[in-house]
A and B are shown apart, each in its own frame.
Chain A
Amino acid sequence: MSQRVNADPENLEKGLAQLVLTVIELLRQLMERQAIRRIEGGTLDDEEIERLGRTFLALANRMEELKDTFGLSDEDLNLDLGPLGNLM
């Protein structure tokens, strides 16, 4: 709501981290959902599923570490997409 910027350096860093991580999380979720659709559609073989799974698992774990580092919650990284609903 407030359009003013809180110029406290720690808050600025956290705000910037929140923005960057939100975009990364958006991309991660979109790619994972795409992979889920492809698995459901039967277009990936076992080796591809294993490789994708390892990648997404590592990304998810890394995202948890970054959220901890910057004191962010899942809610902080959620994007409300208006009529489309929330991102996550």
Chain B
Amino acid sequence: VTLLLYAVADCDPSDVAGAGLDGARLEAVTDGRLTAVFSEHPQSAHAPTAERLWRYERVIEALMNRHAIVPMRYGSSMADRREVASMLHERHDAFAAAVERVKGKVEVSVHADYRHPPPADPAPSGREYMLGQVERHRRAATLGEHLHGLTTLVQASRMRLLKAPSAGVQAAYLVQAEHVSAFAERVSELSRTLPEVDLVCTGPWPPYTFAEEAGR
């Protein structure tokens, strides 16, 4: 038997209801005002298929729509309720801080990449490779400056360079739930000013990126 964790929520255990993966009942363990939400499964090996990941995501989103949560990554599991209680107690302050940080907020993701990257040389010289990297970082920095205009509406942001040879960036923003539409509109406005860039905005997501410190 293994317990699959979905989230640590700022809620009363009596608020936890419904089903998790495979129709397993959602259960709760509480420490103070924090509640760990999980379901019990007969085996530990759950292959992370796309369909399974989406079902897991939907369980977390349903929790997110009702409570402030620190979402867990798929595969977060524990042996029994005592282990869950111990984890929750040991990291209570970190979870409580993370819940406060994300309360009333959601994560919105922006994927920004150039429509026409420079052609990649399959066998560059050392000099060509280095100058290509200089140019890639310069273009990524330019994109980052454009995206910086979005940060006036957000509480926090993270950005990372996409895999080489792309000079694009992936950004995550922590946005007040009521500001998501305004944020998406700002992304659309920015997109219209950057015809050479593909801007894709997705969300709202559970605040995975901004709750992670508590999960370690």
Contacts and interface: CB of A to CB of B under 8 A. Distances in A.
A57 B124 contact: yes
Given A52-B126, A52-B130, A54-B126, A88 B161 contact: yes
A56 B130 CA distance: 8
Contacts of B137: 33, 36
Contacts of A46: 127
B199 interface: no
Interface in B107-145: 124-131, 133-134, 137
Nearest to A53: B126
Given A1-B73, A1-B76, A2-B78, A80 B126 contact: no
B215 A1 contact: yes
B102 interface: no
B76 A53 contact: no
Interface string B66-83: 000000110111110000
Give the interface residue-count category, chain B. Answer: 20 to 34
Contacts of B75: 1-2
For the complex, would chain A's binding face be called helix, strand, loop or mixed by DSSP majority? Answer: helix
A56 B73 CA distance: 33
Contact of B133 (A3, A36, A78): A36
Interface of B: 5, 72-73, 75-79, 87, 124-131, 133-134, 137, 158-161, 163-164, 209, 212-213, 215
